[in-house]
Chains A and B, each alone.
Chain A
């Protein structure tokens, strides 16, 4: 893992001291709310519906056990005993007191964490494939490039007041698990003709009220030019992005208005001034950063573990869990474990302090001290010996962390919605819970197979509803919550926006409506290998839309 150098440590420490002073002045009445609000937002502190909310950055979703234990401690000491992992691989605490926040930031700094650039019109925390450096087909480790981008973008003076926020995601394997095409900039690493890592650069993707799948602006960017090219993109955006209308201020609007060809031309003109200059990433610097992410000392193991196979044969619940929550690893005899934060009936993405401690202890004992946070709001133990999977499962099960539903219909993404969020129009969590309870039967879930439901409580789309196989958007109709359904979206390397169906439905009608859509899918799929999204792309929206409104 990356470790702070003296500069990282100093700037985080200085920022904590600065914010402590600002909070004290606010509480003494020396700063007005208008003066204080931008300062607290620069430190990840929002004021939500019931309380302050602190959003803590988890750079590219990577945590050490010590860091996760610290998040658990913060939840326990300063909050109400839990935290919420988000679609940006961050964690949010829902109940901190203003006066405690400087101390929380101090505690985070002790474990090389912070809340800087988790809000505001700046380059936000970079997100990345949560299976980084664990899958066999990876071209290059996205954490290395994410860290390089983090160092470039942190406190970047030119980009601290962009027209709007800016999100970058990085994927390093052919399968895109980071949803790069629905980010302001998406980077997908591929292998060039000479064997080197190259970037396909997507620009102008995003969700929100005006969703776009990003077009590619460059399909063969040499890695050493990554920062100069990103800087050129940001400069063009900073110059031409609209500041007069916050709803039209994201880069996706600019790219759409100019067209990708013209936008590319503008970027190329800017890049001509920057290319081969100070932002060229030196090979030795890449090597220095890469060394932080050196592979852990994997043992030499047989590809197939007899103990693992025996445990599966002996324990049906364990065998079921391995079918959904265990993924092949690049090292023989190892596996990737996804820790579901979607127990049936619980808020998606929430973990209690005890659960965080349990996951941290398992990572320390069985996964080289490393945990990942996924944008699908689960955790990952990236490097577990197959021989140890049964022990890991038992411990996860005891902690309520072994729900065997990863990728299934109850593995739902949901934003905090109106239960917590000041921007929301409708609740998300309760809808997710009701759907999960409708499909609680694990056999039925397995029969349905991969089906990604994503729920947002407002048009800002933090719950990624535009790219759900089934997307659900909460709207407010004269004080009542209604839900608009979208069908056929996907966030992978074949990203596609869902198609909006007819009128919205009241919340209590949603689980049955989803059940009818699923029934229709089961009746028309070619066989069990044809996933919901495959069937949708084969037959189109109509049969599903008919089912959606069948008995309403």
Chain B
């Protein structure tokens, strides 16, 4: 189970493919099967909205695989310090 993730071009925010567009909310990320590689290639071919796309292993909806847990949880939620700066990450925004 994978999801497609990247950083948004204009502000670098972490985004996930939700099936129709990009969202900052990992819980809304589409869980991908066989179509994942094709979507990644499309995203890599045109990095005009997002940058550095890659496929992220997931163990369930909104939950990164344990092998990438610490990094991807921080990516999804924002810094664990200075939590006052995390507010922006909680609001799903379409790119």
A residues with a Cβ closer than 8 A to B are 26-27, 29, 32-33, 47-52, 80, 82, 95, 97-99, 347, 350, 418-420, 425-427, 429-430, 433, 476, 478-481
Asked whether B60 is an interface residue with its Cβ less than 8 Å from the other chain, the reply is no
- Can you name 20 extra interface pairs (CB under 8 A) apart from A33-B52, A50-B75, A418-B71? A27-B9, A27-B10, A32-B47, A47-B12, A49-B75, A50-B12, A50-B89, A51-B11, A80-B85, A82-B82, A97-B11, A98-B9, A99-B10, A347-B81, A347-B82, A350-B82, A418-B70, A419-B74, A479-B67, A480-B69
Residue in contact with B7 in the complex, picked from A27, A47, A350, A481, CB distance below 8 Å: A47
Question: What CA separation (Å) do A510 and B52 show in the bound complex?
Answer: 34
B80 / chain A contacts, CB cutoff of 8 Å: 419, 427, 430
Question: What CA separation (Å) do A99 and B11 show in the bound complex?
Answer: 8
4 cross-chain pairs, A with B, having the tightest CB-CB distances, nearest first: A51-B12, A419-B79, A479-B69, A33-B47
A418 / chain B contacts, CB cutoff of 8 Å: 70-71, 74
Interface string of B24-56 (1 = CB under 8 A from A): 000000000000000000000001100110000
Indicate if the CB atoms of A52 and B71 lie closer than 8 Å. Answer: no
Residue in contact with B48 in the complex, picked from A29, A49, A51, A479, CB distance below 8 Å: A29
What's the interface size class on B, roughly? 20 to 34
Evaluate whether A33 and B51 lie within 8 angstroms (CB atoms) in the complex, with A80-B85, A419-B74, A479-B65 already known: yes
For this complex, 19 residue pairs linking A to B, each with C-beta atoms less than 8 Å apart, are A29-B48, A32-B47, A47-B52, A49-B14, A50-B75, A52-B12, A97-B10, A98-B11, A98-B12, A99-B10, A418-B71, A420-B79, A429-B81, A430-B81, A478-B67, A479-B69, A479-B70, A479-B71, A480-B70
B62 / chain A contacts, CB cutoff of 8 Å: none
Indicate if the CB atoms of B13 and A50 lie closer than 8 Å. Answer: yes
Distance from A104 Cβ to chain B, minimum over Cβ atoms (Å) = 14
Asked whether B66 is an interface residue with its Cβ less than 8 Å from the other chain, the reply is yes
Question: What CA separation (Å) do A480 and B80 show in the bound complex?
Answer: 15
Question: What CA separation (Å) do A95 and B10 show in the bound complex?
Answer: 11
Interface string of B60-95 (1 = CB under 8 A from A): 000001111111001100111110010001000000
Q: Which residue in chain B gives the minimum CB-CB distance to A37? A: B51
Q: Which of A32, A98, A347, A479 counts the most B-chain CB atoms under 10 A from its CB?
A: A479
Indicate if the CB atoms of A426 and B85 lie closer than 8 Å. Answer: no
Q: Which of A47, A49, A97, A480 counts the most B-chain CB atoms under 10 A from its CB?
A: A49
Distance from A180 Cβ to chain B, minimum over Cβ atoms (Å) = 31
Question: What CA separation (Å) do A226 and B11 show in the bound complex?
Answer: 43
Distance from A505 Cβ to chain B, minimum over Cβ atoms (Å) = 15
Q: Which residue in chain A gives the minimum CB-CB distance to B11? A: A97
Q: Which of B69, B80, B81, B82 counts the most A-chain CB atoms under 10 A from its CB?
A: B81
Q: Which residue in chain A gives the minimum CB-CB distance to B74? A: A418
Distance from B48 Cβ to chain A, minimum over Cβ atoms (Å) = 5
Question: What CA separation (Å) do A433 and B75 show in the bound complex?
Answer: 20
A420 / chain B contacts, CB cutoff of 8 Å: 79
Distance from A80 Cβ to chain B, minimum over Cβ atoms (Å) = 5
B12 / chain A contacts, CB cutoff of 8 Å: 47-48, 50-52, 97-98
Distance from B20 Cβ to chain A, minimum over Cβ atoms (Å) = 21
Distance from B64 Cβ to chain A, minimum over Cβ atoms (Å) = 8
B68 / chain A contacts, CB cutoff of 8 Å: 479
B69 / chain A contacts, CB cutoff of 8 Å: 479-480
Indicate if the CB atoms of A476 and B74 lie closer than 8 Å. Answer: no
Residue in contact with A52 in the complex, picked from B11, B75, B85, CB distance below 8 Å: B11
Distance from B43 Cβ to chain A, minimum over Cβ atoms (Å) = 11
Q: Which residue in chain A gives the minimum CB-CB distance to B85? A: A80
A98 / chain B contacts, CB cutoff of 8 Å: 9-12
Indicate if the CB atoms of B70 and A476 lie closer than 8 Å. Answer: yes
